[in-house]
Amino acid sequence: MKHILIIGATGQIGSELTMELRKRYGNQNVVAGYILGAEPKGELKESGPSAIVDVTDGAMIESVVREYHIDTIYNLAALLSVVAESKPKLAWKIGIDGLWNVLEVAREQGCAVFTPSSIGSFGSSTPHTKTPQDTIQRPRTMYGVTKVTTELLSDYYFNKYGVDTRAVRFPGIISNVTPPGGGTTDYAVDIYYSAVKGEKFVCPVKEGTLMDMMYMPDALNAAIMLMEADPAKLIHRNAFNIAAMSFGPETIFQAIKKHVLEFEMVYNIDPLKQRIADSWPDSLDDTCARNEWGWKPAYDLESMTVDMLEKLRAKLK
């Protein structure tokens, strides 16, 4: 990776991945790709180059790739699970037609491509505990359908054209810079904001709903480590299970309450979020990622909670 383009650089993951890549690869070598209405601001805007890159416009991607001599593309454009249910056609257009554009440019220009998959690529018929790397993937959400297709199309471009496609299946990502939007796992971010603002948290999924989650620094490391990994060691490509922690709402609530004694939570179940969450695994088996490229998370629920509360207290002061 010498010259990197992030598509979706102002989103939850993109905004932090761009800054982390600039730190490691040099500010001028990492281009923040954004769409109109989601322009980069502050440090993200000032620290390096940015360009309008609409993933649904192949010519636009190609011209930015040529202009900046891009050799690696992080394609983070997507609609998350809940919002994709209300806009399935748009979710497909961004997730799959967009991916096709990215892969075609990558094939012609010789770029490596990272397009994340998700715990959402699994469904009710998948084994829910310690979900294996290679298993049943029959999701019923449009988000899941696009993620399984992403994995297959990315593998297709690798096998047929030799495009260096690699990806992970992200769990719910917890972060404190840019909020997520329209996801099922968003509650695990929102709960920290409520705790720091002194508000009672209204939880949209019921007690005992286990899902895999991960703190942003680990997610960034995973995305970068995998793209830096020795290709000779990769048996899998699209996409690796990665895991850091698995919990239900009552467990994250207790972890926060240890530090915010007056914190309160009530439940008001959102049926769509509950249905989606119930169809996703309780915990993933990430042995292949650990063995093939040395994946290992640094944060557990307790260390993440301490850091989240500290960062959000400073941010919301």
**According to the binding rule CB under 6 A, does residue 95 interact with ligand SER?**
no
**According to the binding rule CB under 6 A, does residue 102 interact with ligand SER?**
no
- Please name the amino acid found at residue 195: A
* Tokens linked to 5: 């383009």
CB atoms within 10 A of CB 42: 8
Binding residues for ligand SER, rule CB under 6 A, total 11
75 in Cβ contact with 102 (< 8 Å): yes
176 in Cβ contact with 312 (< 8 Å): yes
Identified binder of ligand SER from the candidate list 44, 94, 119, 168, rule CB under 6 A? 119
**According to the binding rule CB under 6 A, does residue 11 interact with ligand SER?**
no
- Residues present in the chain in total: 317
Q: Which is nearer to ligand SER, 172 or 204 (CB)?
A: 172
**According to the binding rule CB under 6 A, does residue 145 interact with ligand SER?**
no
Identified binder of ligand SER from the candidate list 10, 29, 118, 150, rule CB under 6 A? 118
In whole angstroms, the minimum distance from the beta carbon of 76 to ligand SER comes to 12
What are the catalytic residues?
A: 143
State phi, psi for 177 to the nearest 5 degrees: -100, -70
**According to the binding rule CB under 6 A, does residue 170 interact with ligand SER?**
yes
239: left (phi over 0), alpha (psi -120 to 50) or beta: beta
* Residues 105/19/81/60 CA torsion (nearest 10 deg): -30
**According to the binding rule CB under 6 A, does residue 112 interact with ligand SER?**
no
**According to the binding rule CB under 6 A, does residue 154 interact with ligand SER?**
no
Q: Which is nearer to ligand SER, 162 or 179 (CB)?
A: 179
What is the rounded CA–CA span in Å between residue 245 and residue 303?
Answer: 11
**According to the binding rule CB under 6 A, does residue 185 interact with ligand SER?**
yes
**According to the binding rule CB under 6 A, does residue 284 interact with ligand SER?**
no
Q: State the residues that interact with ligand SER by CB under 6 A.
A: 80-81, 118-120, 143, 170, 172, 183-185
